Each structure stands twice: as C-alpha cells, then as structure tokens.
Amino acid sequence: MKAKDMMDKNFIYVYRDDTLDDVSKKMEKTRKFTTPVVSDDMKLVGWLTSLDVIRGLREGANKVSDIMHPKEEVKYLHENDPSRLAVIATSDKKLTNIPILNDEGVVTGVIRSFDIVKTLSALYDIKVSSIYEAMENELKGISWDELMEASAIITRRATGKHIRPEDYERKIKNSTFGEAIWGTGGLEKFFIGLIAVGELVIARRVGRARK
Amino acid sequence: MKAKDMMDKNFIYVYRDDTLDDVSKKMEKTRKFTTPVVSDDMKLVGWLTSLDVIRGLREGANKVSDIMHPKEEVKYLHENDPSRLAVIATSDKKLTNIPILNDEGVVTGVIRSFDIVKTLSALYDIKVSSIYEAMENELKGISWDELMEASAIITRRATGKHIRPEDYERKIKNSTFGEAIWGTGGLEKFFIGLIAVGELVIARRVGRARK
C-alpha cells in the first residue's frame, strides 16, 4: 500500500498571502486543525495549524506567511512512499496530518491520523470465520465440521472450558481478528491456537488415510 | 485492552471561567488541538477545540463557557470500555481525541488518534520470525531448519521464484507482520501460506514416523 492509496484527496489549502481572518474561517468551516500552504502551482511551501492561527490572531499578525512553518520544518511524504511511513511518522512524531507530494513537489493529498486508524482497524475487523474459511479451502480433504470439532478440542485443552463445536462456530462468526488477538493474549498466541487446530485435523486426516 | 490502558494520563484541561487568552496560550504551549472542560472536581462539563477558540477570539468572546461544546455533544468513553470502542469512534466519527471518564464522571485521561495508531501499528511491528518461533515451539518434533525449508518450497510454489531456506530466514528476520500482510495481499493469504507450511512439515514428520 502506497501513501497515495491512503491519502485524502479532498483537502483544504491556503496561500502565503491569505489573511488570517479568511484562513481561520476556512479551517473552522471545514473542521480542519491543519492545512498545507501552497504556491500558485500547488507546490508545498509551508504548513499551518490552528494553534499558529490562534497565536497570529492574538499577536495581530495579518498574513499566512507571517505565521506559517516553512517547508523545511514540515514532515511530508511522496505519493509512492510506502503508507507505513505515514503510520510510523504519525506514531513517533505524534502528527495528526501529513501532506503528500508528487514528483514536482505538488501537494496531491493529506494523510490524516483517523484515516490511518481506519485502515489499520480494517484489518482487525476481519471475521475470524473468514480465516477458517481460508483454512478449509487450503487444507484439502478437511471439512468445516472437522475444523470446528478440532477447534473445540484445542480450546478445551487450552482453557479447560468445555465448548461444543457449534458454540465455537457461533463464536468465530461473531468475533473479529482484533477481538481474537485481545482475547487470546496476543498475535503469537492466536497463531499457536490456529496451528494446533491445523495440526490436529492433519493428524486425523493422515490417520484416516492409513486405515 | 481497556480504554484506561490506551489513554494518556498527561492531558491538559480548562475550566468554564478561564479566559480565551489564557486557554489559547495553554493549548499553544502544549501543542494540543483540543481540551476537556472540567468542573472544580474534575468532572467533564464540556469540550473545546482550537477552532472554537479561533472563532471565539475573532468574535470577541471572553470565556470558555461562551464557546465550549456542552457535555451532551461530546463523545466520551468510560475507563473500562474496550479500547476498540475508541478505535471505532476515531475511525467513524473522525475524532482526534476522546476524553475518558471514571464512574464518577471525572476525566482520568484522553485517548488521542496517534496513541491508537501507535497501539495498532505495534501489532504490525511484530517480526514474522517471532510467529515462526511460536510455530517451532508448538509443533513438537519440527526443527527450525525444516520450517525454513518448507517455507522456501511453499514460496516457490506460490510465486514461481526460487528462494533458498537461508534467504527465507533472512527475510522473516527483517520483515514485520505488517509488511508480510501487505506483501502477500492480505491477512487471509498470509495465513494460507503459513498453513501450507505447517501442513508440509507435519506431512514430512508423519512420513518420517512411518519409516
């Protein structure tokens, strides 16, 4: 996934010569805490936050150029950079928005922290049952019922709790990967459970083949 | 994971009677776009953003109470709510910050969008090799070298590319779960690959046992 696949192409921008009054109204109207400052040909020249505008208004500044952060101070990414660079920058530098540029230095989008949250959480929202469906498709000669039965056995071994295959099936149809990871205590533990299930059904299949 | 495990306990807050001038300086100094408004006993009574402050300064308002959003309009969570509710709210409502309350309605923390990004991305940052280490520990009688060999075979089958076991080992030691998911084309596909590896090593182990 590239930065351009995650960025919002609907972003506001302002010019160096815009008045603080106009800019503050634009930011308020669109509920944006930050905005790129661009040249006439849409190249990034600076960055402005609502906190800069507050300071500017209080201190009697007039224009964007009086209060903006120049480009050298701005964290930006290229369209074709991996989107995880935006994730790292957001997480490490506590940024809420990152401007994205093309080869010419033109601003083509902005990656916002909640866009990142949306993308990352989409992973968590995958139903556990869809992972089991992938297992069923991959493991030839293994039926869905065998998978549910093996999972109930593995769960009983791990937790001591008696759970029927049909209970297990209902559980994975209603729970997401994120819930499963938090429920089992981490990604590795979730994998270990799945591997144990796979091992059990494969051992049983081999057992059948021998008869 | 609960909201209280994800929230930042170092947050700023303001009172209803604070002047906009003081509040704007506090927000600027701490680089915060939003702040809870609290009563004398720290109960949430409202919410203020830097955009509200801008409007207030422009329109000549004096106090926080003139421009704040009352509690009824504020999205907040309880300390013991699952943290994924904060993820959902951030993603769906495009919020950057969510106040967290205890049983008495007292603000005890704030969850920020970049805290969420940090937590979610930590999952992605797990090295693929640690998942293999979990596999090695779980699958009794299977060595690390057998896992690498099986992985090289499965990779060749899936991609047509010849890769040696030692290349594979170097790859998983340098790449994270997040990169692997993006690289393979999604969580299910990543699982399918792992399952295929598991199936192959188990089949080989069974083959050895038969001899």
- Judge if A112 and A131 occupy the same domain: no
Name the closest residue on chain B to residue A92, using Cα atoms: B118
**DSSP β-ladder status, B77-78 and B97-101:** parallel
A159 and B CB contact within 8 Å: no
Is B58 in Cβ contact with A54 (below 8 Å)? no
The pLDDT mean for chain A works out to 89
Helix H or strand E segment including B53: helix B50-59
Selecting from B51, B114, B187 the residue whose C-beta is nearest the C-beta of A27 gives B51
Residue B77, domain extent: 3-122
Domain end position, chosen among A122, A139, A171 = A122
Provide the pLDDT confidence category of residue A179 given band limits of 50, 70 and 90: confident
Task: Tell whether pTM > 0.80.
Answer: no
User: Please, what is the angle between helix B50-59 and helix A50-59, to 10°?
Assistant: 20
pLDDT higher than threshold 70 for residue A181:
yes
d(Cα A126, Cα B187) in Å, to the nearest integer?
Answer: 8
A96 and B CB contact within 8 Å: yes
A4 and B CB contact within 8 Å: no
Structural domain count of chain B: 2
Query: What are the pLDDT digits (tens) for B133-192?
Result: 888 888 778 899 999 999 999 889 888 889 999 999 999 998 888 778 767 777 778 888
Q: Which two tokens stand for residue A29?
A: 């109207």
A50 and B CB contact within 8 Å: yes
Q: How many CB pairs under 8 A join A and B?
A: 179
Helix (H, G, I), strand (E, B) or coil at A210: helix
- Judge if B148 and B199 occupy the same domain: yes
Q: Which two tokens stand for residue A184?
A: 């089992």
Stretch A151-174: mean pLDDT, rounded? 90
d(Cα B124, Cα B118) in Å, to the nearest integer?
Answer: 10
- Judge if A39 and A77 occupy the same domain: yes
> For residue B127, what pLDDT is reported?
86
Is B96 in Cβ contact with A114 (below 8 Å)? yes
- Judge if B138 and B112 occupy the same domain: no
Domain end position, chosen among B84, B107, B122 = B122
- The CATH number of the domain holding residue A27 is 3.10.580.10
pLDDT higher than threshold 70 for residue B211:
no
- Judge if B148 and B129 occupy the same domain: yes
- Judge if A95 and A9 occupy the same domain: yes
pLDDT higher than threshold 80 for residue B206:
no
ipTM: 0.74
> For residue A211, what pLDDT is reported?
65
pLDDT higher than threshold 90 for residue B71:
yes
> For residue B88, what pLDDT is reported?
83
A97 and B CB contact within 8 Å: no
Task: List chain A residues with CB under 8 Å of B57.
Answer: 54, 57-58
